[in-house]
Amino acid sequence: MFDDSFLGRPDTLWHPFTPMPPVGPREVLARAEGAFVYTESGHKLFDATSSWWCQSLGHCHPRLVKAFTDQAKVMDQVMVAPHTHRPAIELGDKLLGALGEPFRRLFYSDDGSTAVEAALKMSLQFQKNVGQPKRRRFMALERGYHGDTLGAVAVSHVGEFHDLLPFESHVFRARVPSRADDEAACLSEVENFLKNEGDTVAALIAEPLVLGAAGMHVYSLSYLEKLVRLVRNAGALVIFDEVFTGFGRTGPLFALETMPRDLRPDMVCLSKGLTSGFLPFAVTAVTKTVYDAFTGGPAKAFFHGHTFTANPMACRVALEVLRIFEEEKIVEKNRVLIEQMAAQKARFLALPNVAEVRHLGMVWAVELKDAATGQPPVPANGPGWRIASACWNKGLWLRPLHQNLYLTPPYCATPEDLSRAFDVLLSAVQKES
Ligand code: PLP
């Protein structure tokens, strides 16, 4: 019945983003604590990607374990249509306080993709509710990524994910400048599109400041500000997808804080760091203007929801995450690690197989090239997987993204942990060159 086995037992797990059956070494993960994960065979690994960018405060944080178990003893999943509960009320106050103006309402869901789906659907219905039903298109960033459900895939633009779309997405993709001297050309393309078809656009969705899944491509605040201004002037909404960038990943608590007040988005999607990766949970936060368009009777209501909306344990854990950020001054503390990451650039750039090093806040990436030709390696992730495998053997857990290797470390990492991780990575990249 089973044509695949692992450790002498039928293998039942269909792994995400993995050609099946998997090839190469695999181990059973047994335990996780702080910045480290331990396998059943006793191998200790530094979780350099914070397990897909979510374990920001570290694994099994004692305060989150307590918040979760305390709540689990009192009340588990309950329906919140139209009732509410204390964990949702308290999280709402705290999260809106942290986001600041202009956010006023929170729509909870389960993960990054569902937070994005909610935002996209909200913006379509917003336009209909305010008498702009022609606005049914989206603008998005070239190389953007917003999740794997079909709506999110439609606005995303990372190659291999898109081929299966069963519909035309009609998305205008704004080119993101990788050099300052390309900014004006990118903006002029946007301007031209908006001049001709701006009245068909419901919203722009953008990962602010860093295109994560594209390979940790950092882009300028100046471009983002000008892009948002153009979109606003054309009467469309602005959605920031902070699923990755939220909760300190780019430096400040939210990337949107770097924007002038009048250019902050109408909606923001959060997940991953919302519970510090402890539980699947997400939120789409919106302004009063957006929310008001959905009030005033059943015809205006947002008919969208998920079974586990506002799960009480997830709310309590997210509340505790915000308290930890505040009480332990996590954003300020991260500055030491951020400086340490910035200082790594030169020694990687000195290697013949390194094309570029990118860094923003708690995101750091090295882009590889073929040392002989100077071109991207073929296949793109070939050297990346060999390097990741060498690092794994030395206690450093990474995953390549195309021709890039990156670190998005947990904030509880010590300078010594980080220093060792960079040494191990440097030596593996050097051996591959
Ligand atoms: N949006 C961004 C910016 C992401 O980086 C991701 C996941 O990496 C998602 C959305 C999708 O989140 P999830 O995998 O939780 O559905």
pLDDT, tens only, 136-151: 999 999 999 999 999 9
CA distance linking residue 420 with residue 73, whole number of Å: 41
The Cα-based distances of 3 to 9, 13, 24, 174, 365 in angstroms read 11, 13, 17, 46, 38
Residue ranges of alpha helices (H) inside 285-379 are 288-292, 312-327, 330-342, 345-349
Beta-strand relationship, 9-10 and 5-6: antiparallel
113 lines ligand 1 (CB under 6 A): yes
The pLDDT score that the predictor gives to residue 3 is 60
280 lines ligand 1 (CB under 6 A): no
Residue segments in the chain with a per-residue pLDDT below the cut of 70: 1-3, 160-161
110 lines ligand 1 (CB under 6 A): no
The pLDDT score that the predictor gives to residue 1 is 43
Ligand 1 pocket: which of 50, 109, 111, 113 to mutate (most atoms <8 Å of CB)?
113
* Residue 212 Cα: closest atom of ligand 1: 5
Taking the centre of ligand 1 as the mean of its atom positions, its distance from the CA of residue 152, in whole angstroms, is 9
145 lines ligand 1 (CB under 6 A): yes
pTM for this model (two decimals): 0.97
Taking the centre of ligand 1 as the mean of its atom positions, its distance from the CA of residue 161, in whole angstroms, is 13
281 lines ligand 1 (CB under 6 A): no
Query: Do 34 and 58 touch, CB atoms closer than 8 A?
Result: yes
Cα–chain-centroid distance for residue 166? 25
**Residue 202 has which token pair?**
């419901």
Region label for 64, one of left (φ > 0), alpha (ψ between -120 and 50) or beta (otherwise) = alpha
CA distance linking residue 372 with residue 425, whole number of Å: 21
Buried b (16+ CB within 10 A) or exposed e, 18-29: eeeeeeeeeeee
* Residue 144 Cα: closest atom of ligand 1: 3
112 lines ligand 1 (CB under 6 A): yes
